[in-house]
Chains A and B, each alone.
Chain A
Amino acid sequence: MSLINLAFKKAKNKKRPALLTYTVAGDSSKKKSLEILKSIAKYADICEIGFPHNTPIADGGQIQSSAYRALKNGIKIKDVFSIVRDFKRSATPKPIILMGYYNMIYQYGDNNFINICKKSGVDGLIVVDLPYPENKDFAKKCKKKNISFIQLVSPTTSLIRMKKIIMDSHDMVYYISMLSTTGGKLKVSPEKILKKYNKIKSLNKNKNIVIGFGITEKTIASLRKADGLVVGSALCKEISKSVENRQNPVTNVTNIVKRLRKKIL
């Protein structure tokens, strides 16, 4: 069983959704982003790490700020992999999902990128601008190396398309809760989101479906019936705030993740 599946199983056994965090590699610095990961891993089940791109077409302000900060600090792809390696060697490693835009993978070369992911201990990949079915070949290559390629489903995805996507998906599927970039305010009621979620779930009960976009301390409890919940922008925002106030982002972000975890117990 893959580490990602195992993480979902563990959470399910405790009758709670898996908690997935998203932070950007290199934010607020290379060292700090690793410390943040190590620290929040105590409370998170799966950690997503963004490899920052300077022309993100689907990220809201909070994640953009994190990405620009990381790039300003000179973060390179090789640093992202070294953060993953160090994290995987730490005392409480969790499954790692890398998330980013396709151009960076494309410049690296698909195979090259996937190989280094494997070597570094990456468990899954989300590529924001490589949709289905264009991602089929890439997803196959990932599967060969036992890396989960995570398909996305959105409120605009038709039922026919959804069926195809679910059929070709690996361990986990990411449901985008609403029409929004990351970090938008939840503009759809949790009931509506869960209704759509149940529809996706009914297509294949064995897939782990996570909900992301608009999830904060305020909204997380209302969606706790899902297999997993992703919190990203709220954490990136906290890092920005900490940097601004000259506080330690590690402590502040960890406190949020701790509180998020409590809300879904």
Chain B
Amino acid sequence: MIKLKKKIPLIDQHDKNGFWGGKFGGNFIPETLKKPVEDLSILFERLRYNKSFIKQRDYHFKNYIGSPTSFIKLQKLSNHLGGAQIYAKMVSEANGGAHKIYNATVHCLIAKKAGKKYVVGDTGAGYAGKMLSMAAKRFGLKCKIFMGAKDIKRQKPNVDAMKKNGANVVPVYSGSQTLVDAVSECMRYWVSNCDNTHMCVGSTVGPNIFVKICGWSTAQISRELKFQIQSEFKKIPKKVKLINCVGGGSSAYGFWSEFIDYEKKQIELIGVEAGGPRSSKLHAAPLTNGAKLGILHGAAAYVCQNSEGQINETDSISAGLDYPGVSPIHCFLKDTKRARYTSATDEHALDAYKLVTKLEKINPSLEPSHAFAEAIKIAPKLGKNTIIIVNSCGDAKKDRDILKARLGNNK
């Protein structure tokens, strides 16, 4: 039986081989990457306890990213559903429009410290890529972004933004032409260029150190939230549900990290994966659907795969969640039963988007719309003393074309 430890950040609860719960994570990497991964690990462990580095990080979080993002009550949505009180953490207010800016900024700060001139990253919805291109520009690094050809088409606004920031966007035509292939291609690029290039993995996935850096960066969200909850309610309420969408799982980890030590009865953590189109068997919900443990992109985690170990194709209306794997940290939270994982279909996410944007003046992207779908589903069954908080972790500007095609003039 694997257990969570208290008072130790979850990102540090791995063993000496990099495994959480003895089996999730690790470093399944080619020999060539052993040294750069080790160098990065040593550098990060030094920097994260270095006062001047922390100061630098906090300065950029505040003055560049715009921390803290606001915490608001969705009064009309709460009234409409007539149950739990629904709040949103508006992480989409962060510079660039999503949580990916935290990880991107930290990676660029690290790349500078490492003396690297180039930074390379993967992207699905385009946010990780857009933010990396923004941060790279700010810190004077040359940037290359790998993106699946299918995603380039469906998330054009973000592609335009990357190009405007001077990034070289490389389309990936292999496999399903989505995030999974972009990550593979990015790793391959790093294998060939690790001497002068820093790699930024866009979520809490990949070899151990990338999970840690990303989690350490997005944890800012829950540090702000904890403070905001305390000032709103005077103390942490008795019944709280923190709902977050989960693709790789970076925003969910960032949203939850300060609250993991609380009892589940007080603060429930709910992760919502992409259930895919209602009429299709394809999905991107390895945790919800009981996918088997496997190795993907350098880490052991639950992965959508066939019996031979070939990675399954996934499908989701949300490019940011359209990934067959998930963070080892979320596998650990699932198996220790600290978090509960479920999924929402494309249609549920669209319905949620429609309802939320009809009632409230917010514009969540398709990723957090999955989280809103779960909130909408459970809120009516809950009492008024239950506080639901949804991480509205991305802005829907990038989804312009999809929303127009799917909702037309109904919206």
Residues of A at the B interface (CB closer than 8 Å) are 53-60, 64, 68, 71, 76-77, 101-108, 128-132, 134, 152-158, 161, 176, 179-181, 184
B40, chain A: closest CB distance, angstroms: 12
Whether the pair B191, A180 counts as a contact (CB closer than 8 A) is: yes
A residues near B385, Cβ cutoff 8 Å: none
Chosen A-B contacts, 12 in total, with CB atoms closer than 8 Å, are A57-B188, A60-B188, A64-B174, A77-B308, A103-B294, A105-B309, A106-B309, A129-B295, A134-B26, A152-B30, A156-B34, A179-B192
In the complex the two chains form, what is the Cα distance from A189 to B310 in whole Å?
Answer: 37
Whether the pair B30, A57 counts as a contact (CB closer than 8 A) is: yes
B residues near A59, Cβ cutoff 8 Å: 188
B residues near A184, Cβ cutoff 8 Å: 192
1/0 per residue, CB under 8 A from A, across B1-44: the answer is 00000000000000001000000001111111111100000000
A residues near B63, Cβ cutoff 8 Å: none
B171, chain A: closest CB distance, angstroms: 14
Whether the pair B29, A131 counts as a contact (CB closer than 8 A) is: yes
From B17, B32, B175, B309, give the contact of A134 (CB < 8 A): B17
A residues near B75, Cβ cutoff 8 Å: none
B250 at interface, CB cutoff 8 A: no
B172, chain A: closest CB distance, angstroms: 11
In the complex the two chains form, what is the Cα distance from A102 to B17 in whole Å?
Answer: 16
B266 at interface, CB cutoff 8 A: no
B56 at interface, CB cutoff 8 A: no
In the complex the two chains form, what is the Cα distance from A131 to B298 in whole Å?
Answer: 11
Whether the pair B191, A181 counts as a contact (CB closer than 8 A) is: yes
From B28, B35, B295, give the contact of A158 (CB < 8 A): B35
1/0 per residue, CB under 8 A from A, across B192-219: the answer is 1111000000000000000000000000
Whether the pair B32, A55 counts as a contact (CB closer than 8 A) is: no
B residues near A77, Cβ cutoff 8 Å: 308
Whether the pair B27, A54 counts as a contact (CB closer than 8 A) is: no
Residues A54 and B30 in contact in the complex (CB < 8 Å), given A103-B294, A179-B195, A180-B191: no
1/0 per residue, CB under 8 A from A, across B31-63: the answer is 111111000000000000000000000000000
Whether the pair B32, A107 counts as a contact (CB closer than 8 A) is: no
1/0 per residue, CB under 8 A from A, across B281-307: the answer is 000000000001111111000010101
Whether the pair B35, A57 counts as a contact (CB closer than 8 A) is: no
Whether the pair A104, B192 counts as a contact (CB closer than 8 A) is: no
Q: Total A-B residue pairs with C-beta atoms closer than 8 Å?
A: 115
Whether the pair B30, A76 counts as a contact (CB closer than 8 A) is: no
- The chain A residue sitting closest to B300, CB to CB, is A106
Chain B interface size, as a band, is: 35 or more
A residues near B180, Cβ cutoff 8 Å: 55
Whether the pair B29, A54 counts as a contact (CB closer than 8 A) is: no
- The chain A residue sitting closest to B34, CB to CB, is A131
A residues near B31, Cβ cutoff 8 Å: 131-132, 152-154, 156-157, 176
Whether the pair B187, A57 counts as a contact (CB closer than 8 A) is: yes
In the complex the two chains form, what is the Cα distance from A76 to B28 in whole Å?
Answer: 23
Whether the pair A58, B188 counts as a contact (CB closer than 8 A) is: yes
- The chain A residue sitting closest to B188, CB to CB, is A181
From A64, A130, A176, give the contact of B32 (CB < 8 A): A176
In the complex the two chains form, what is the Cα distance from A58 to B36 in whole Å?
Answer: 15
B residues near A154, Cβ cutoff 8 Å: 30-32, 34
In the complex the two chains form, what is the Cα distance from A128 to B187 in whole Å?
Answer: 13
In the complex the two chains form, what is the Cα distance from A205 to B183 in whole Å?
Answer: 39
In the complex the two chains form, what is the Cα distance from A107 to B296 in whole Å?
Answer: 12
From B28, B35, B311, give the contact of A156 (CB < 8 A): B35
A168, chain B: closest CB distance, angstroms: 13
B386 at interface, CB cutoff 8 A: no
Whether the pair B188, A101 counts as a contact (CB closer than 8 A) is: no
B28, chain A: closest CB distance, angstroms: 4
* In the complex, the 4 A-B pairs of residues with the closest C-beta atoms, listed nearest first: A107-B309, A156-B35, A104-B309, A103-B295
B89, chain A: closest CB distance, angstroms: 33
Whether the pair A103, B305 counts as a contact (CB closer than 8 A) is: yes
B184 at interface, CB cutoff 8 A: yes
A207, chain B: closest CB distance, angstroms: 16
B residues near A155, Cβ cutoff 8 Å: 32
In the complex the two chains form, what is the Cα distance from A157 to B38 in whole Å?
Answer: 11
Central interface residue in B35, B184, B305, B309, by most chain A CB within 10 Å: B309
In the complex the two chains form, what is the Cα distance from A179 to B190 in whole Å?
Answer: 9
Whether the pair A68, B308 counts as a contact (CB closer than 8 A) is: no
- The chain B residue sitting closest to A57, CB to CB, is B187
In the complex the two chains form, what is the Cα distance from A119 to B36 in whole Å?
Answer: 38
Whether the pair B28, A134 counts as a contact (CB closer than 8 A) is: yes
Whether the pair B310, A128 counts as a contact (CB closer than 8 A) is: no
B residues near A56, Cβ cutoff 8 Å: 184
